[in-house]
Amino acid sequence: MDTRPDGARQARELLRVAFGPSIVALGIVAAVLLLQLLIANSDMTGAPGAIASAWLAVHLVPVSIGGVELGVLPLLPVLALIWATARATAEATSPRASWFVTRWVVASALGGPLLMTAIALAVVHDAASVLTQLQTPNALRAFVSVLVVHGIGAALGVGARTGRRLLAASPLPAWLPDAIRGAAAGVIALVGLSGVVAVGSMIVHWSTMTDLYSITDSAFGQLSLTLLAVLYAPNVIVGTAAVAVGSSAHVGLATFSAFTVFGGDIPALPVLAAVPTPPLGPVWVALLIAGAASGVAVGQQCARRPLPWPAAMAKVAVAAALAAVTMALLGYAGGGRLGNFGDVGVDQSTFAPAVFLWFAGIGALTVAMAGGIARRPRLPKPEPEPEPEPGPEAQPEPDPEPDAPAETEAETEPETPPAPEVYPEPEPDPEDLLMTDDDPAPGVATDPGADTDH
């Protein structure tokens, strides 16, 4: 458990980011050069200038010795330095760190190498006053090269830690990480397949490689040639990748492509035995399979999360563009001026466009075939509503029963007596209207005991 204060711990991490990769590179360069000088029994007078020039060469700064410019520098040390910078930056960056701390980490990753560049330029300038054959490189080119190399490493390291948070807070599409992953897969596949082809070509041209080794008889010389071949192997692989996508690579006047080869003088470097020799056989046309297979790798990575076809095609196009830019940078870094041989490198006017076309075309086809296009769900058609069936006639609802309080009120009201029945009087009989003698006069009382005779 680290018991130091947070300030001291962060300062130590920043120092490690600033000077760690550069000092390690300087130590390796110094060890190799001192060993070379000791074996060759050379004078150590110009050792500091040689070490400083070699450290700048690791950062792709051209070296001029005796008026001859060495601009084609090995890619392996540069790639190793970028990886070391990215790793150191990623270890010093927390995914939850504030942007203030992250900016300090990036500034340290760039500031330390720039300071060492200034020191190296001063050492080379001082040594050039003693060794007239050693020339001081262009200061602006030196600072820009160092800044680009360590800037790429710092961007990769910080992006690996805070990339998702940065994308979530930005208006960029959510599928951008998949596009970056697809571009990385395409570049790795293209470089890997090109490396296999280069190794196979060296095996086929084994006799040529043996002749290149025969220029020196000493074991130290052959060891030096082997070391140079390993350092320049990525340069040859990038050239093979250019041939694999239909572009071309050249070493001076010698030009190589999958369709034709123009011969010329090449340096006596064993790794260059992989270049084809005229007349070109039809087997080299099969090298285009490597470009197509790399496009399939791009499409497979982009098809992992299906999207609607506009977004899916945009993702493939972005992945192809990123891969093309990466390969173009590798082609530019691996080329340059090589003394009397002339320019060495790839045809930049066709290399990046060819990579983009292969990756975009084959990648889009792979996405379509691998199910990377999400189909829109079909909306169900509205079904017509069924007509209501005629039901039985509605029965009249019974009158609701009166509530209990209403019945109580009806019971408490007094009942009205019924009206008396009136019967019509019978009409008198006409016979009854005739008065007889026996009938008493109306209004005269009759004596029931009186005699009826007078």
pLDDT in tens, 187-202: 999 999 999 999 988 8
The Cα–Cα gap between 185 and 289 comes to: 16
Quick one: average pLDDT of 311-328? 94
Q: What is the pLDDT of residue 390?
A: 59
**Residue indicated by tokens 């300071």:** 115
Conformation bin of residue 67: beta by default, left when phi > 0, alpha when psi is -120 to 50 = left
3-state SS string for 266-279: CCCCHHHHHCCCCC
Cis preceding-peptide flag for 353 (omega within 30 of 0): no
Nearest Cα neighbor of 96 from 2, 155, 162 is 162
**How many angstroms separate the Cα of 238 from the Cα of each of 84, 264, 312, 426?**
21, 20, 29, 144
**Which pLDDT score, from 0 to 100, does residue 144 have?**
95
What is this structure's pTM?
Answer: 0.78
Res 433: pLDDT: 43
What is the DSSP secondary-structure string of 40-57? TT--STTHHHHHHHHHHH
- When mean pLDDT is compared across 155-164, 316-325, 332-341, 396-405, the lowest value belongs to 396-405
Q: Which parts of 17-84 are beta strand (E)?
A: 63-65, 68-70
| pLDDT score of 80 more than 90 | yes
Higher pLDDT, 189 or 340: 189
pLDDT in tens, 232-277: 999 999 999 999 998 999 888 888 888 888 877 888 888 888 888 7
At residue 49, the pLDDT reads 87
- Residue closest to 342 by CA, chosen among 420, 264, 239: 264
- Residue predicted with more confidence, 393 or 75: 75
Quick one: pLDDT band at residue 11, thresholds 50, 70, 90?
Answer: confident
Phi, psi of 440 (to 5 degrees): -70, 155
Q: For 139-148, 203-212, 278-287, 445-454, which range has the lowest pLDDT when averaged over its residues?
A: 445-454
Q: Please tell me the distance from the alpha carbon of residue 204 to that of residue 244, in angstroms, as a whole number.
A: 18
pLDDT surpasses 80 at 3: no
**DSSP conformation class of 343:** E
Give the residue-averaged pLDDT of 355-378.
87
- How distant is the alpha carbon of residue 122 from its chain centre? 42
Mean pLDDT of the chain: 81
Give 441's pLDDT tier (boundaries 50, 70, 90).
very low
> Does position 111 have pLDDT exceeding 90, yes or no?
yes
Mean pLDDT (whole number) for 338-352: 88
Residue 454 has pLDDT above 70, yes or no: no
Q: Tell which phi-psi region holds residue 232, choosing left (phi > 0), alpha (psi between -120 and 50) or beta.
A: alpha
